[in-house]
Amino acid sequence: MATMTSLIGLINKIQRACTVLGDHGGEGLSLWEALPSVAVVGGQSSGKSSVLESVVGRDFLPRGSGIVTRRPLVLQLHKTEDGQQEYAEFLHAPRKRFTDFVGSEPIQLECETGIASVRKEISDETDRITGKTKQISNIPIHLSIYSPNVVNLTLIDLPGLTKVAVEGQSETIVQDIENMVRSYVEKPNCIILAISPANQDIATSDAIKLAREVDASGERTFGVLTKLDLMDKGTNAVEVLEGRQYRLQHPWVGIVNRSQADINKNVDMIVARKKEQEYFETSPEYGHLAHKMGSEYLAKLLSQHLEIVIRQKIPSIIALINKTIDELNAELDRIGRPIAVDSGAQLYTILEVCRAFDKVFREHLDGGRPGGDRINGVFDHQLPAALKKLPFDRHLTLNNVQRVVTEADGYQPHLIAPEQGYRRLIEGSIGYFKGPAEASVDAVHFILKELVRKSISETEELKRFPTLQSDIAAAATEALERFRDESRKTVLRLVDMEANYLTVEFFRKINEPEKVPTRSGEKDKEKEKEKEKRKDNFSDNFSDNHLRKIGSNVSAYIQMVLETLRNSIPKAVVYCQVREARRSLLNYFYVQIGKKEAVSTGTCVGRIESLLWKIQHKLTWLVSFAKRQQLSAILDEDPALMERRAQIAKRLELYKQARDDIDSVAWK
C-alpha cells in the first residue's frame, strides 16, 4: 500500500510538471484540475497568511495592505527527518536553495539565500507576471519547503476576497478575484479551507459564502476560525466550533495567530505554536476542544484527508491520463512522427546499445539478475488465490440452480436430466474464470514493464544517451502492450473453449450406477429401488435433493476445469508475453529505424524489413546502408510544425510519466 508521503509527493510532482508545460487549470479539462488539492480561501485581513505561516512554522509570505497575494501560491510541504536542515525551493528557480529560516544574514551558496529572500522572491516573481501594479494573474508560483516541522501537505494560497476596489486597482478587481478563486474551489477535486475571523459574524464570512455556493453539502469544506483571542469580552465562538451555528461535514478548527507585537518582535513560530496550544488548554470556553484546535492539528487533519481523497481519485485520474494519451498520439499520427537523422557510426552505436540493454533484460528474466522470479509468484500465489475466491457457491445456490434449470427448460420441463440447465450453469460458472485470467496477464505485464525500467537504468551504455533511453522505453512498452493484448486474447480463448465444449465423459461417469455384488434373491429388490428412484426424479424434478445433486455435479465439473485452467493459463501467459519479450522486444524498434531511413531515400521498405528481421544480417546491412545514404535531407520541415510536434511530445511525455508514477506508487 502506498504511503501518505508517496501519494502526496506524487501529486506534488505532477503539479510541478503541469506548471512547467503551462497547464495550471482555469480553461477546460486538464490534468492539473484532476489532481486533488487544498485551496485556502478567505477575505482580506481574515488571517489567511498567518494561518499558512503557522502551518509551515516560518515567516515567508509578503505582508502589506490591500491585495498582497496576486498570484496563486502552490505551497508544497515535505516533511524531512529530525535534524535535517530546512530549506525552500521555487520551481521557476530550481538552482536556488533558500536555507536561512531564522532571519539572519543570507548564506552564500550558488546564490543569495535566506527566508527573507523567499518573501522577496515571491514578490518579485509576482511582479514579473503582473508588473508593479495591483493586477492579478492565475499563473501559479510553486514553492516547496522541506522541514522536519511540517507535515506532507500541499496548499494553494489564493488572493483574498474583497468587496471594494481601491485606488490603483481595476474596477473589475472584485469580480476578477472572485472568478479566480471560484475557478479553483468549484472543481470537485478541490478541498476548500475556508478562513473566517472569529471577531466577525460568521454569516458575513466571504469564505463561507463562497464555499456554500460551490459546496452546498459541505463535504469538501473545512472551516477555520481565526482571531479567537480578539473577540469582545464576554463572547466566544463555541457554537461555531462545535458545528451548531453552521454545520460542515468536517470539524471546525480554531486558530490563534501571533499578535502584531509578536510579529514585530520576531517571536519564533514554534514558540508561537506552544503559546497557541496553551491558550486553548487553559481557556474556560475552549478547553474541552483543545485536542482538536490549533495550527498543528489543522495541518495533520488536512494531510490525512488529502491522502484519503487522493486514493479515491486515482482511478479517475488514470482514466483522464489514458484518454489524453490516446488523443495526443492520434494528433502526432496526423501531423507526422519525427524522423531520426543518424550517421553510420551512430547507427552502429544504437544497435550496440540496444544489444547491451537486451542482454540485461534477458538476465532479469533468466535469473542472472533479480526480478524474473516475480512472474512465477503470479502463477504460484496470485492466480490460485484469485481462483479460490471465485463465488461459485453463490452461483450454485438451490434457488439459482432452480431458476437456471427452469429458464433453460422453456415451456416444456425436462424429462430425465436437465441438460440445457446443466450447460447454462456450467457456462455461467466458467465465465468467472475470465477475471483471474486477465488479472494474471496484467500482473505479468506490470512486472515486465518494471524489468524494462530496471534494465534501462542498469545498462551502462545507455546512461550517455537520455534520448535513446526514452526511445527504447517507448518501443519496449509498445511491444509489451502488444504481447499483453495477444496474451489476453489467448487466455480468454482458453476459458471460452472450456465453456463451448464440455467433457461429456465426466457426466457419463458420475451417472453410472455403482456395481455392488448382490445375491440372487436381492436383485429384484434393487431393481424395484431403482424404479422408485427414477419415478421420484421424474415426478419431482425440483426437489431440494435433486437440485442439490445438480449443483454438486456442476461444482465438481467446475473444479476439474479450474485445475485445467490453473495449469494452462500460466503456459499461455509465458508463451505470449514472457517468451515474446525475451526474443523480440525491440524487433519493431529496428524495423521503425529502417522505415525512417527508407523514407529519406525512397528505397524499397520491403527489402529493409526483410533484412532487419534477420538479426544476423541487420548490423552489417545498417552500417553499409548508412555509408551510402545522406540523411540530412529529411530535416526540411516547417518550423511551426516541428514546434507543434515538440509541444505535443512534451505533453505526451508528461502524461506518460504521470501514468508511470501513479503505477509505481499504486503497486508499493
The pLDDT tens digits for 365-421 are 988 888 888 998 999 999 999 988 888 777 777 777 777 777 666 666 665 567 777
**Nearest to 192, CA basis, from 211, 166, 216, 179:** 211
The answer to whether residue 489 scores a pLDDT higher than 90 is yes
Q: pLDDT tens-digit profile of 99-130?
A: 754 344 333 334 444 455 788 888 888 888 88
pLDDT at 220 over 80: yes
> How far is Cα 427 from Cα 624, in angstroms, rounded to an integer?
59
Residue with cell string 499563473: 139
Res 34 pLDDT > 90 = no
pLDDT confidence bin for 519, thresholds 50/70/90:
low
pLDDT digits (tens, 9 = 90+) for 467-485: 778 878 888 999 999 999 9
pLDDT of residue 110: 41
More confident residue, 534 or 584: 584
pLDDT over 70 at 525, yes or no = no
User: What is residue 45's predicted lDDT score, i.e. its pLDDT?
Assistant: 79
Least confident of 228-242, 305-319, 444-458, 504-518: 504-518
Identify the bridge partners of residue 43 per DSSP, sorted by sequence position: 161
Whole-number pLDDT of residue 240: 92
Q: Which residue has the higher pLDDT, 548 or 641?
A: 548
Amino acid 593: pLDDT: 57
- The per-residue pLDDT of the chain, averaged, comes to 78
Greater model confidence, 247 or 22? 247
Model pLDDT for residues 297-347, shown as the tens digit of each residue = 998 999 889 888 888 888 888 888 898 889 889 888 876 665 555 555 556
Residue 519 or 228, more confident = 228
Most confident of 137-151, 405-419, 611-625: 137-151
Q: Which one-letter amino acid corresponds to residue 37?
A: S
Q: Phi, psi at residue 482, to the nearest 5°?
A: -65, -45
In 3D space, the residue among 532, 527, 531 whose CA is nearest the CA of residue 516 turns out to be: 527
User: Stretch 631-642: mean pLDDT, rounded?
Assistant: 49
pLDDT of residue 437: 92
Q: Would you state the pLDDT for residue 111?
A: 43
Q: CB–CB of 40/157 below 8 Å? A: yes
Task: Check pLDDT > 50 for residue 602.
Answer: no
Contact 239, 270 (CB under 8 A): no
The 3-state DSSP class for residue 221 equals: strand
Mean pLDDT for 443-465 is 87
d(CA 376, CA 18): 38
Residue 252, pLDDT > 80, answer yes
Q: Alpha helices of 131-259 — where are they, by DSSP H? A: 173-185, 206-214, 238-241
What is the DSSP-derived secondary structure letter of residue 373? H
For residue 604, the model assigns a pLDDT of: 43
Q: With contact defined as beta carbons under 8 Å apart, do 456 and 473 qualify? A: yes
Whole-model pTM over 0.75: no
- Whether residue 249 has pLDDT greater than 70: yes
